[in-house]
Amino acid sequence: MMGGMAGLEDVEQPRPRGSATAARLTPAVEDEQAFRAVELYGNPTDEEVRLPSRPESAATARRLTHCVVARQWGLSAQTAEYAVLLVSELVGNAVRHTGARVFGLRMLRRRGWIRIEVRDPSRGLPCLMPVHEMDTSGRGLFLVDKLSDRWGVDLLPRGKTTWFEMRVGDRTAER
């Protein structure tokens, strides 16, 4: 009876689909893709990385964020997870709502804080909307507001920078 469900020994059990299993990336593959993204686009801690304003660029921004926050800065898995989620939301807003051809991604760290910025050429301000339980969209800035310690928008002569900051401990306390 090993591997079967009690009382269903003679009933064929569903098998995991190979494609679903193959689609999941292992940490080693994710790391390789993140390092490849840094090689291709640059390190957003050195200077602003410019990415094409396309939905698939959100995946690149997530990889860059994970690579920097988890690997380069050595911060906790939860901090990396939140940073990846929030950068994805800011990038999604830049791609969907600004009409830009490119957007910029920059990551900064100072004692006790990290700051992640997404710059685009639109001066239209993002709006934090009320979120209801059954909403299927419009939760991006709500998540940024709830999971970051601070966030805001800096208007520029040509465009804006939307940013969030998170408190972090030193490397040993953060792990």
| Per-residue model confidence (pLDDT) at position 27 | 66
21-48 confidence digits (pLDDT tens): 344 556 677 778 888 888 899 999 999 9
pLDDT average, residue stretch 48-71:
95
118-142 confidence digits (pLDDT tens): 999 999 888 777 766 655 555 678 8
In a domain? residue 135: yes
In a domain? residue 152: yes
In a domain? residue 19: no
98-121 confidence digits (pLDDT tens): 888 999 999 999 999 999 999 999
| Per-residue model confidence (pLDDT) at position 2 | 45
Confidence band of 10 (pLDDT split at 50, 70, 90): very low
| Per-residue model confidence (pLDDT) at position 68 | 96
Sign of the CA dihedral 88, 96, 59, 74?
negative
Name the more confident of 36 and 84. Answer: 84
CB 79 within 8 A of CB 69: yes
In a domain? residue 143: yes
How many structural domains does the chain have? 1
Consecutive H or E run containing 20: helix 18-23
In a domain? residue 16: no
Q: Rounded to whole angstroms, how far apart are CA atoms 68 and 106?
A: 11
Partners of 57 in beta bridges: none
Partners of 161 in beta bridges: 119, 154
| Per-residue model confidence (pLDDT) at position 51 | 96
First to last CA, the chain: 42
Indicate the residue type of 19.
Answer: S
pTM: 0.77
Q: Could you tell me the CATH number of the domain that includes residue 64?
A: 3.30.565.10
In a domain? residue 9: no
In a domain? residue 7: no
Residue-range definition of the domain harbouring residue 96: 25-174
In a domain? residue 48: yes
